[in-house]
Amino acid sequence: MLTVTNLDAYYGQFHVLKNVSIDVREGEVAVMLGPNGHGKSTLLKAICGLAERVAGTIKYEGREITGMPAEKLVNQGVIYIAENRELFPHMTVLENLKLGAYSKNARQHEKRNLEKVFRLFPRLAERRRQLASTMSGGEARMLAIARGLMSNADFLCVDEPSLGLQPNLRIEVFNIIQEVNRQGKTILLVEQNIPQITEMADKLYVLEEGRITFQGDRSEALSNDHLKEIFLGM
């Protein structure tokens, strides 16, 4: 569904991604692990048209999307879901969700998607009139995911959804992401060393110093001692 081939990305003077290639198939949850500052988020941003400078090719469903700006990409079916920095703080939950359906393809499905999202996140339905800035960390994370779903995109790039959350909320967020995946969305997830993460991954990648240093399915990851020790904390 999404193929990245020989991708290089730069952040100012820094050469952040070096010759990165990944391949995510429809219906999968692909997880990208790696230490902080080694380029995981940059990779997601490069795919989603938010990086400064990229070279290489990114193809989505056979169409080349390299360097396509984020506002056009969402219409192609790829959406970036950030921790919670990209919400609209002085707007209500409902306004945030409605704006999630701003793109042309999403607009016609707005009503249906809103019902779906409220079923998935009953708490957001209760708090639809609350300002996004007054929500707790966990709720804001839910809202970020919910807003992403409003875009009607089939491919979700989720950037560290567990960052800064306490363990029980992390599990809640992961459960939601798995549920979303079961409902038919393909997911590329960037995460840190969270033990639970392997359970939900169909495929794992490790990104270190801008290069892919491991790729494989769940069982391969679990049998790799280096990976187990460093990233999965087992």
Residues found near other proteins in the complex (CB under 8 A): 48, 50, 69-72, 74-75, 79-80, 82, 85-91, 95, 98-104, 106, 147, 151
User: Which of 44, 232 has the CB closer to other proteins?
Assistant: 44
CA-based nearest residue to 190, from 62, 76, 12, 20: 20
104, 106, 107, 108 alpha-carbon torsion, rounded to 10°: 110
User: Which of 48, 204 has the CB closer to other proteins?
Assistant: 48
Residues 6+ apart with CB under 8 A from 147: 81, 87, 96, 97, 99, 100
C-beta of 233: minimal distance to other proteins in Å?
Answer: 31
C-beta of 170: minimal distance to other proteins in Å?
Answer: 23
193: left (phi over 0), alpha (psi -120 to 50) or beta: beta
C-beta of 130: minimal distance to other proteins in Å?
Answer: 16
C-beta of 222: minimal distance to other proteins in Å?
Answer: 34
User: Which of 132, 207 has the CB closer to other proteins?
Assistant: 132
In whole angstroms, what is the distance from residue 134 CA to residue 90 CA?
Answer: 9
User: Which of 103, 162 has the CB closer to other proteins?
Assistant: 103
